[in-house]
Each structure stands twice: as C-alpha cells, then as structure tokens.
Amino acid sequence: MTDYLQRILRARVYDVAHETPLEPAPNLSRRLQNRVWLKREDLQPVFSFKLRGAYNRMSQLTTDELQRGVIASSAGNHAQGVALSARRLNCRAVIVMPSTTPEVKVRAVRALGGEVVLHGETYDECSAEARRRCSAEGLTYIHPFDDPEVIAGQGTIALEIMRQSEEPPQAIYVAVGGGGLIGGIAAYVKALWPEIEIIGVEPQDAAAMTRSLEAGERIELDQVGLFADGVAVRRVGEHTFELAKRHVDRMVTVDTDAICAAIKDVFEDTRSILEPAGALAVAGMKRDVIDRQLTGRRLIAVACGANMNFDRLRFISERAELGEEREAMLAVEIPERPGSLRDLCEQLKRRSLTEFSYRMTEGSRAQIFIGVQVQDERDRSALVSALGAAGFPCHDLSDNEFAKNHLRHMVGGRLPSSARQACAGDCRELLYRFEFPERPGALMNFVNALHPGWSISIFHYRNHGADVGRIVVGVLVPVDGMDGWRAFLDDLGYRCWEETTNPAYALFL
C-alpha cells in the first residue's frame, strides 16, 4: 500500500495529461436521489485516462530504450496514450490493435504518429503479437494495465478526486477491464480514506474481474463481448488482481442496454458522448443505487473515455430507452376487422409511440408490433394489463433480444390470399408513404382521419428522432371509394407519395 501511494505521489503525468474537472450531474442526481459527480477523464487530450499510465511508464525509460522504441497492444485508448507519449518523448511507437477496433481510434493513433498493426479480434490476440514483435525487434513493451508505473499513473485520478471533493464521497465507481484504473484509484483512496467504497463495474459479457474475485484466482474467460471494446479483456492482470482483492469493495455487472442508457444520461447532463467503456461506471452506479436502495449519498463515477465511432450512435439511441425501462416493446393482438386499429390507438392516445408495425394476416386475429414510451417497469406492467382488459391481449417483448435486434426490422409480408380474393374486382390495395411534423398527437390525428370503413392492410411507423414522422400505410379501398380516398389525401394536408407501383412493394409486400 505504501509503495503504491509513493508511486502515485511522484508519478509524472502532467507533461501530457490535464487535471480533469469533477463535475456535478444534476439530472442524474435528481433521478437517483443521490448527489452524483462525474470525473471527466473523457476531456483528456486523447479523450481517455489512458495517457496518464502510459506517460508515467514511458517517462522512466532509459535513453537507450527510447532510441529503440516502444510497442503496445490496445483496443485504442492506451494506444493513443502511448502514441502521444512517444511523440512527446521523441521515440518510435508500434501499436498492435485488434481488427475490431473502431476506426476513430485507429485514425487517432496514426494521427499521433503511431505505427498501427491490426491483428486478431481481441486484446489477448493482439497482446500476443505485440509480445512476439517486442522480442523480435528489441522494443520495450508498455503494458496497458499490469505494470506498477502504469497503475500509479492511473492512480493520479484519485489524487485529483480527493483534492477536488469538498467532502469525501461514500463511493467511487470505476470501469474495469484489465484492472489498471481501479487498481490505481483503489490503492490511493484506501491508503487515505479506507471508509470510501471502491466499486468496480464490468459488462456482463466481459466480467473477468468479477469472476476472478469470486473464485479467488485469476479466471480466463472463453470469450468476451466487444460492445464495450475498451474493457474487452479475457483475463485481468496479476498486479491489478492483487490490488482488487485487497481494496475493491464490490463488483457490479451491467448489460448492453444499461450501458446505452448511461451514455444517454451523461449526454443529458454534459452534452458529451461517452464510449461504452467510458459510461460503464455510470451504468454500474445506477444499478447499485437500485439494488441497495441508496439515497442521499455522495457518489462519484469516473467517465473514463469518449472515443466513439459515430455510426454506433444508431444502435445506442435505439437501445437507451430500453435500458432505462422507458420504452416497452409489445406484440398486441387485435381483431382483424375494420376499425380495430382505431380502437387500439384510442387506448394508446395518451402515450408516445416509438414504433408501430402491422400487416394484415389470415384469420380473425392479427398481431401488431408496438414500441411505446413508459415511465418505468411498473408503468409498463400497468399498460400491458390495461390493454388486456380492453380486449387487446399482448406479449411484453421488452427483454427479448430477438425482438430487439431483428423482429422490429422484419414485420411485414404479403397480403393474405383471402383478402386478395375478397378484393378482386371490388377494391384494391393502395400503398402510400406520408410525412408529417413530428409532434405529440400527430400519429393519432392521422389514424383518426382514416375512414372507419377502410381496411388497413399495412401500417408502419417509427420515430427516428427527426423533425418529421414517417408512416407507410396500405389500405383496401373499394373501386367506388377512390373519390373518398383522394378527398382524404387533400383534407389531411400531409406530404405523401403513392408507392403502389414501387418494385420493393411488389417484391416483398
């Protein structure tokens, strides 16, 4: 303990790193009924804490070692820290990165002068390649987490937290990959304020430290999830495991949806977007507050990185509401008759819909896939019960991975043969696409404007977060009712396009 305290106090980090702010998170504080603060390591020059440990280690290399150069294996954040440190120290840096590394991190390392080598799919595979090249080329290996000087560099975050805090917090939440960050923070905090809880957070599909602490020895995972690529480590370090055994009070694991929700939470408080690993501590803090029913406490979460691929935001925004339990995904059964869609919408008129997919099917009953905003799990259960009582039995698919990842994009199919036969000569299926200003109630206004005698055969709506809402509607209109349909389009006043002759409709719908 004394050894690490001394290492942290004499660590050289501020040649390249900044002292980052400890900022209050008012929205999170109100929602969690605790005083929440964020340690903003995402504001470092490389948008991650990793340069602290990398520079502290590299600043102690000999002149000969610097002349020969360094090598590192990393998913991206340590790589950028090593590359920036190498540029500062004027030495060569070879960085072996997994082939799955987000492109934004690869470009950033190259921009800092690092020589990037893409190898394998996980940290462990690229680490083995870095070790091989280290021996072959006489380079010095800079470990991303399992090195006392790297750990000490990360520990300077705790030094800043305690200096910046008006009073000691009750708990500090830290993301865990290999364990360097939590090892350094825990070693410093426990040496001076042993009553402060140090709580580690891992993804459920990359929980190497959690498993290891439970077993009392380092466990190597067979595979790890790559969503939070910055912590995708199959086995934690020797030094970091010993520090965790001694100083970490508890571990929390969270799923992908919870991480997405945490990214949104931090955005709402800071207008900054963390990467998945960077938001882990916030997700774990939220889980721990719920599990232990914590209130009125001073809690700190380390926001440790913001190297996010822009295209990943589509997935994150889609899953964040589910992670907060503020969106329900339901399969609702309705009678296959004119007017039933309107009746269902009447039940939902006070709700904000995020998705609505329907295709006419054979039989007397049909299933509609609905996304709807709710307040929490209790409100979701109440909605399911209310729909059932109103004659619309439904299945809650909010926790169904198949539905979340695939089904919501697949609802469709062709018009049933019975409907085609009934329409022959008397009516036709028209397909129209509509755009309207996206505001509360706009979707219901559209449904209410539809003639109750028309059979709706296709209905698809999805809130994409744009300023306009988009609906695709298929409707069975009698031949002698075309004037009424045209009048409906004129009175509605929404922009619309007929897609009845669209080849995609002919091929798939």
What is the chain's mean pLDDT, rounded? 88
Residue 465's pLDDT is 63
What is the average pLDDT across 331-338? 84
Is residue 504 pLDDT above 90, yes or no?
Answer: no
Model confidence over 129-170: pLDDT tens digits?
A: 999 999 899 999 999 999 999 999 999 999 999 999 999 999
For residues 129 and 96, give the distance between their C-alpha atoms in angstroms, rounded to a whole number.
7
Beta-carbon contacts of 221 under 8 Å, excluding residues fewer than 6 positions away, are: 206, 207, 208, 211, 234, 235
List the 495-498 sheet strands across, edge first.
394-396, 327-335, 365-373, 353-359, 455-462, 468-478, 427-437, 495-498
Residue-wise pLDDT tens digits, 335-346: 877 778 778 888
116, 47 Cβ separation under 8 angstroms: no
Question: Could you tell me the pLDDT band of residue 300, with boundaries at 50, 70 and 90?
Answer: very high
307 and 275 Cβ atoms separated by less than 8 Å: yes
Per-residue pLDDT at 27: 96
Phi, psi of 174 (to 5 degrees): -135, 135
Share of the chain above pLDDT 90, in %: 53
Say whether pLDDT at 459 is over 80. Answer: yes
Inter-residue contact 181 to 49 (CB < 8 Å): yes
Give tens-digit pLDDT for 64-73. Answer: 999 999 999 9
Whether 13 shows a pLDDT value over 60: the answer reads yes
- For the residues 6-28, what does the mean pLDDT come to? 96
| Whole-number pLDDT of residue 404 | 76
305: β partners: 48
Q: Which domains does the chain have, with CATH numbers?
A: 2-44+154-318 (3.40.50.1100), 50-141 (3.40.50.1100), 325-508 (3.40.1020.10)
Residue 188 neighbours by CB under 8 Å, 6+ apart = 4, 5, 8, 155, 158, 159, 162
| H-helix or E-strand spanning residue 433 | strand 427-437
Structure tokens at 59: 């600043």
- pLDDT of amino acid 8: 97
Q: How big is the chain, counted in residues?
A: 509
Which of 227-231, 247-251, 378-382, 413-417 tops mean pLDDT? 247-251
Mention every residue, 6+ apart, whose C-beta is less than 8 A from residue 16: 45, 51, 55, 84, 85, 88
Say yes or no to pLDDT of 268 above 90. Answer: yes
pTM listed for this prediction: 0.79
- Give the mean model confidence (pLDDT) for residues 287-303: 97
Sequence-ordered alpha helix ranges (H) in 330-412: 340-347, 377-389, 401-405
Query: For position 5, what pLDDT does the model report?
Result: 94
Whether pLDDT at 411 is above 70: no
pLDDT at 417: 67
Cβ-in-10-Å burial (0-12, 13-18, 19+) of 52 comes to: buried
Taking 3-state DSSP, the helix, strand and coil percentages for the chain, each rounded to the nearest 5, stand at 45, 20, 30
pLDDT above 90: residue 373: no
Residue 464's pLDDT band, with cuts at 50, 70 and 90, is low
Closest CA to 111 of 64, 79, 65: 79
